[in-house]
Chains A and B, each alone.
Chain A
Amino acid sequence: GENVEQHPSTLSVQEGDSAVIKCTYSDSASNYFPWYKQELGKRPQLIIDIRSNVGEKKDQRIAVTLNKTAKHFSLHITETQPEDSAVYFCAASIDQAGTALIFGKGTTLSVSS
């Protein structure tokens, strides 16, 4: 089955710096890669996702890159702000609704002002 590794487990940056979180997956059949953000005491929410037919996707300060050959994908946050502080989870699955997401163990991002 699919296995997702996520690094680093914790990340501290200064406000305005960039943050990068990396994930690797094992199942070459996976073709859907979402990122969820979970603020303290709140539920996880989707922030961005990427499908295997593209190599990069951007949404304002957030971007995700995918390298299918190497089976890794990364989340990039630019111009970080204190409200970006949260736990970020990457996941992998087949691009079909009804398929379970296999999550990484999460990265705790702390942005200090």
Chain B
Amino acid sequence: GAGVSQSPSNKVTEKGKDVELRCDPISGHTALYWYRQSLGQGLEFLIYFQGNSAPDKSGLPSDRFSAERTGGSVSTLTIQRTQQEDSAVYLCASGLPAGRPQGEQYFGPGTRLTVT
């Protein structure tokens, strides 16, 4: 079946502008994660959604970052007033719901964000 998809694949924006990044998880996966991958850095956890429960926002680096998930499926990560340090690849992953042993998180292709 279809994997995790993300759009856009690339986004160039000017400093100070807002951006929205979209993630479509694998059908039936109720868990959805956002990670950020900066050059030379690992995968940094940002936020996690599980069904209709309140999201785990513990990884968001500042209040300029927010995310929502509508209908338990598609998620949007919003970065307000972008800064150059926000430039990175933003990866979305989906997986099994809570209550089961940890398993593979299936990653999307990522959105490469460049803030000029």
Residues of A within 8 A of B (CB): 4, 6, 32, 34, 36, 42-46, 49, 51, 89, 91, 93-106
Contact = CB atoms under 8 A, between A and B. Distances in A.
Given A43-B91, A98-B31, A89 B43 contact: yes
Contacts of B98: 96-99
List of 7 A-B pairs having minimum Cβ-Cβ separation, nearest first: A98-B98, A103-B42, A105-B42, A43-B107, A100-B45, A103-B43, A97-B96
Contact of A98 (B35, B50, B58, B104): B50
B42, B44, B48, B107 — which one has the most chain A CB atoms within 10 A of its CB? B42
Contacts of B40: 105
B42 A89 contact: yes
B61 to A, nearest CB: 14
Contacts of B4: 43
Contacts of B110: 43
A44 B42 contact: no
B56 interface: yes
A98 B45 contact: no
Nearest to B53: A98
9 contacts: A32-B101, A42-B109, A43-B109, A49-B104, A95-B102, A100-B59, A101-B105, A103-B45, A105-B40
Contact of B43 (A44, A97, A98): A44
B91 A44 contact: yes
Nearest to A42: B109
Interface string B56-98: 1011000000000000000000000000000000010001111
A98 B110 CA distance: 20
Given A43-B91, A100-B59, A105 B41 contact: yes
Given A43-B91, A44-B91, A101 B108 contact: no
A46 B41 CA distance: 18
